[in-house]
Amino acid sequence: MSRPDLNLLVTLEVLLAEGSVARAAQRLRLSPSAMSRALARLRETTGDPLLVRAGRGLVPTPRAIELRERVSQVVQDGEGVLRPAGKVDLPHLVRTFTLRTSEGLVENFGPALIARVSREAPGVRLHFVQKPDKASTALREGIVDLETGVVGATTSPELRAQALFRDRIIGVVRKGHPLSQGKMTSSRYASGRHIGVARQGLDKGPIDEALEPFGQAREIVVIVGGFSTALALARGSDLIASVPERHTGNLRAGLHSFSLPVPTKEFTVSLLWHPRLDSDPAHRWLRDHVRQVCTATKSG
**7-82: CATH topology:** Arc Repressor Mutant, subunit A (1.10.10)
Residue-wise pLDDT for 78-93, tens only, equals 877 776 666 889 999 9
Q: Is the pTM of this model over 0.85?
A: no
In Å, what is the CA distance from 246 to each residue of 54, 88, 111, 194, 270? 51, 32, 15, 20, 13
Instruction: Please check the confidence at residue 227 and state whether its pLDDT lies above 60.
Output: yes
Q: Which CATH number does 169-265 carry?
A: 3.40.190.10
The CATH number for 90-167+268-296, chosen from 1.10.10.10, 3.20.20.70, 3.40.50.10880, 3.40.190.10, is 3.40.190.10
Fold match between domain 7-82 and domain 169-265: no
**How far is it, in rounded angstroms, from Cα 41 to Cα 20?**
16
**How far is it, in rounded angstroms, from Cα 176 to Cα 181?**
8
Least confident of 45-59, 210-224, 229-243: 45-59
The closest of 154, 79, 146 to 113, measured between CA atoms, is: 146
Q: What is the mean pLDDT of the chain?
A: 88
Residue 9's pLDDT band, with cuts at 50, 70 and 90, is confident
Residue-wise pLDDT for 47-84, tens only, equals 988 889 887 778 888 988 888 888 888 888 887 777 66
Residue-wise pLDDT for 85-119, tens only, equals 668 899 999 999 999 998 788 988 999 999 999 99
The closest of 2, 11, 74, 72 to 40, measured between CA atoms, is: 11
Sheet holding 240-244, edge to edge: 219-224, 193-197, 240-244, 169-174, 255-259
In Å, what is the CA distance from 40 to each residue of 1, 57, 300? 20, 17, 62
CB 12 within 8 A of CB 67: yes
**How far is it, in rounded angstroms, from Cα 242 to Cα 179?**
13
CB 257 within 8 A of CB 172: yes
Residue-wise pLDDT for 144-178, tens only, equals 999 998 888 778 888 999 999 999 999 999 999 99
Domain layout of the chain by residue ranges: 7-82, 90-167+268-296, 169-265
